[in-house]
A and B are shown apart, each in its own frame.
Chain A
Amino acid sequence: MADNADRYQGGEAHDPLVDETEDAREASSAAARLFDIRRVIGGLFVAYGLIVGLMGLFDSSAEIDKAQGLRINLWAGAVMLVFGLLMLLWQRLRPTEAPPARSDDS
């Protein structure tokens, strides 16, 4: 099944409407069109980590009691901060490549 399936990749469809849009795409798909979502996710989570983590530093005992004795803001903040930084690191280490030339382009 899988081997059979692999043979369908790329190429021309056999329908005028489909072909038109594919042609339009291939003609103008030069610009590296991706911005990197990893930077956005990383940025938002670093911000969340800092806000929640700082709130956690100053949590009153009432708030800690509400969370069953867990310093949940501190923990959640730290985890989100680390996750955000890892996303940014991943983006730094493996930046988006420019869209590859298709093997069926002329």
Chain B
Amino acid sequence: MGSGLRLNMNALDYLILALYFVTVLGVGFAARRAIKTSVDFFLSGRSLPAWVTGLAFVSANLGALEIIGMAANGAQYGIMTVHYYWIGAVPAMVFLGIVMMPFYYGSKVRSVPEYLRLRFNRPTHLLNAISFAVAQVLIAGVNLYALALIMQALLGWPLWIAIVVGAVIVLAYITVGGLSGAIYNEVLQFFVIIAGLVPITVIGLVKVGGVSGLMDAVRESKLGEAGLHAWQGTGSTDNPLGAHWLGIVFGLGFVLSFGYWTTNFAEVQRALSARNMSAARRTPIIGAYPKLLIPLVTVIPGLIALITVKGLGADQGDLVYNNAIPLLMRDLLPNGVLGIAVTGLVASFMAGMAANVSGFNTVFTYDIWQAYFRRDRPDEYYVKVGRIATVIAVVVGIGTAFIAAGFSNIMNYIQALFSVFNAPLFGTFIIGMFWRRMSALAGFWSLLSGTVVAIATYLLYKTGVISFNSDLEESFWGAGLAFVTVAVVAAIITPLTRPKTNDELTGLVYGLSDTTLADDSLAGDAAWYRSPVLLGVVAVVLAALFYIPVF
């Protein structure tokens, strides 16, 4: 990106940004007072109300790739981008809350890998803990690099200053405030992000003549009529996204999305920090409601940019699709709301990176250090390890940010690669949760072989041995093959190996509930509007209804 994106920030815009930095740090220090035990540091003491964890849940996902990337997709693929939200997120979030959360929260595990240790065995656990930890640090680096790129392009800050400033602030509030620092800031970041995006959407819509003006203009654009429909034209792959409806429903809507939302600890951790079972189950479901509406402030601006920015969609330079939102900010926002929008973008990068870092420090401390290196230390020791792990994560993240800077398109690669990592994990989880007989060894070999198949598919595609229509199609197929591999390997190995006893599996699998557990519900949890099932069903129905006007 050159200097063509430079925004005309004035002193008051910088005041708005500075106020945000100060507030974020203040929240970190205020959260410190609440940290007495390792559970306080890593899981916020399992004490947070559902609206806080729910907004943090959605905010943890509103990182770099989300805001910038979904607006870019909006400009490139049109309305079909809503699939990433309405079928590619909401059903999985609801499934996590209604079906899977009882096993996660009820078994009191402290992380997703830990569930694998209890359900299967230590090799499965270690495999997942290490691959998760590595992935989180890499993604944190990519988030950081993306943040720095934006600050460089919009504000003219040198890349390394932007990387260090972003890293130091995230480091400070997580090291000091632990997960509470991250989660409280994510709630704040959620509102700041929305406040930054809404003015862009509103002014943009006025400029193109409202919703009907937008639709007319999209018909005239290079997307044409197809840019206004989510499902029409998916009977073949002849549509902007190049995807068949089967691929959208099973690839994106099932394997990829369930893999990401239900087994990614950076997300699930938010729900584990809720104060009781009811709040934990409502966490992803409450997050689903904002998720339903976020396309209004990402996809719509993408379409507006397509129409109002001449030449958008260049292969390189300032007019790449990824600059849809920054270009609109430059063209439409006067000082004042401009400061808010820049702050919102910065907030979104920080939210994404903080989610990765706080997921990493928990898994590193509980699942690697405590489980395999230093077992029986006092609780305070592990809080210290968690703080050190945070520093390590951020320092390594800075390193990977500079590595990312060396590649032109690394974000796409990493996104594709790790979305594929999630598919075998989800397969192992879902089969292990619902098939009590699945043995510990089968768990390990399923996860390993599924991961190998996913990586192999990706590498064969990249080296040109096999070909797909698009990166997206590759990720559908890679995920699908990985999932099938997991199922087949589980079915072959399980009959040959010893099952786990019912005693070991109580509370971890479907059909073996732990009857000794007490009820932890709070006054008011029984209210009908707090029923996870009802809230979840309404969210899914809304997602289906939202499709009607853009069918």
Contacts and interface: CB of A to CB of B under 8 A. Distances in A.
Interface of A: 1-2, 4-15, 17-18, 20-22, 24-25, 27-29, 31, 33-35, 37, 40-41, 43-45, 47-48, 51-52, 55-56, 59, 63-64, 66-70, 72-73, 76-77, 80, 83, 99-100, 102-104
Interface of B: 12, 15-16, 19-20, 23, 26-27, 30-31, 33-34, 36-40, 45-48, 52, 98-99, 101-103, 105-110, 114, 117-118, 184, 187-188, 191-192, 195, 198-199, 202-203, 206-207, 275-277, 281, 331-337, 339-340, 366, 370-371, 379, 504, 506-507, 510, 513-522, 532-533
Contacts of A68: 203, 206-207, 332
B45 A2 contact: no
Contacts, number: 209
Given A17-B366, A24-B379, A40-B26, A8 B103 contact: yes
A13 B508 CA distance: 10
A85 B544 CA distance: 35
A20 B78 CA distance: 52
B433 to A, nearest CB: 12
Main secondary structure of the interface of A (DSSP, over half): helix
Contact of B98 (A1, A20, A103): A1
A14 B516 CA distance: 11
Nearest to B30: A35
Contacts of A66: 331-334
Given A11-B516, A76-B337, A5 B34 contact: no
A6 B98 CA distance: 10
B280 to A, nearest CB: 10
A76 B199 contact: yes
Contacts of A63: 334-335
Interface centre among B48, B371, B515, B519 (most CB of A within 10 A): B519
Interface centre among B27, B39, B370 (most CB of A within 10 A): B39
Contacts of A12: 108, 516-517
A37 B184 CA distance: 6
Given A12-B517, A37-B187, 19 more contacts: A1-B99, A9-B518, A10-B518, A12-B516, A24-B37, A27-B37, A33-B34, A34-B48, A37-B188, A47-B19, A59-B336, A67-B203, A67-B337, A68-B206, A70-B202, A72-B337, A73-B337, A80-B340, A100-B522
Contact of B16 (A4, A8, A25, A48): A48
A22 B519 contact: no
A29 to B, nearest CB: 6
Contacts of B31: 35
Nearest to A100: B522
A37 B371 contact: no
B45 A25 contact: yes
Contacts of B520: 9-10, 102-104
Sorted nearest first, the 5 A-B pairs with minimum C-beta distance are: A8-B106, A11-B517, A5-B102, A33-B34, A63-B334
B506 A51 contact: no
Contacts of B191: 41, 45, 83
Contact of B506 (A14, A21, A44, A83): A14
B506 A24 contact: no
Main secondary structure of the interface of B (DSSP, over half): helix
Contact of B277 (A8, A35, A40, A48): A8
A72 B520 CA distance: 47
A2 B98 contact: yes
A48 B195 contact: yes
A62 to B, nearest CB: 8
29 contacts: A5-B98, A5-B101, A5-B102, A5-B106, A6-B519, A8-B105, A9-B276, A9-B519, A11-B518, A14-B504, A18-B114, A20-B379, A24-B37, A24-B38, A24-B379, A28-B37, A29-B37, A31-B36, A37-B184, A56-B336, A66-B333, A68-B332, A72-B202, A72-B333, A73-B337, A76-B198, A80-B195, A99-B47, A99-B275
A22 B540 CA distance: 35
Contacts of B107: 8, 13, 18
Given A13-B108, A25-B39, A40-B184, A7 B514 contact: yes
Given A18-B110, A44-B19, A9 B517 contact: yes
B519 A55 contact: no
Contacts of A37: 27, 52, 184, 187-188
Contacts of A34: 34, 47-48
A27 B40 CA distance: 12
Contact of A7 (B48, B515, B533): B515
A103 B518 contact: yes
A8 B102 contact: yes
A54 B364 CA distance: 48
B379 A21 contact: yes
Given A15-B118, A68-B207, A59 B334 contact: yes
A8 B517 contact: yes
B80 to A, nearest CB: 28
Contact of B336 (A2, A29, A35, A77): A77
A9 B521 contact: yes
A7 B515 CA distance: 7
A21 B37 contact: yes
B417 to A, nearest CB: 31
B157 to A, nearest CB: 22
A48 B336 CA distance: 9
Contacts of B507: 8, 13-14
